[in-house]
Amino acid sequence: MNVVSRTRNRRSAWRSIARSIAVVAASAGLILGGAATGAQASTSYRMGCFVITPTTGITTQTVWGYNTCSYTTGFRVSTVSWYTEPCVRVAPNTSGGYKWTKGRKFSGTTTC
């Protein structure tokens, strides 16, 4: 009986380890897969001198604006709520952005 119980304990331990590895691998796949699809879902659009690129990640949203003007200008992010984000000033030929949680939905941008 003692030998049988040792064998069962070893099998149980190996099953537990294998199950843990499978859970970690599946979780990593879901997280990385979600991050890749979020980054691919973004579409850039032109707004005056800016090329605006909104992206959606797992828990946050980001709006990047690339300034193609020869002068410093800015843009403001609007969300579907009463709150408007502060103006993001961007130097020529550089980019700037704003990041927030997914709780407030992105509705658009305006220049400022």
More confident residue, 97 or 40: 97
Q: Which top CATH class is 42-111?
A: mainly beta
pLDDT at residue 7, as a whole number: 56
Please report which confidence band the pLDDT of residue 110 belongs to, taking 50, 70 and 90 as the band edges.
Answer: confident
Is 35 in contact with 58 (CB distance < 8 Å)? yes
Domain residue limits, the chain: 1-40, 42-111
- The residue assigned the tokens 């949203």 is 61
Closest CA to 93 of 64, 60, 62, 71: 71
- pLDDT exceeds 80 at position 20: no
DSSP state of 84: B
pLDDT digits (tens, 9 = 90+) for 53-93: 998 888 888 999 999 989 998 888 887 776 677 888 999 99
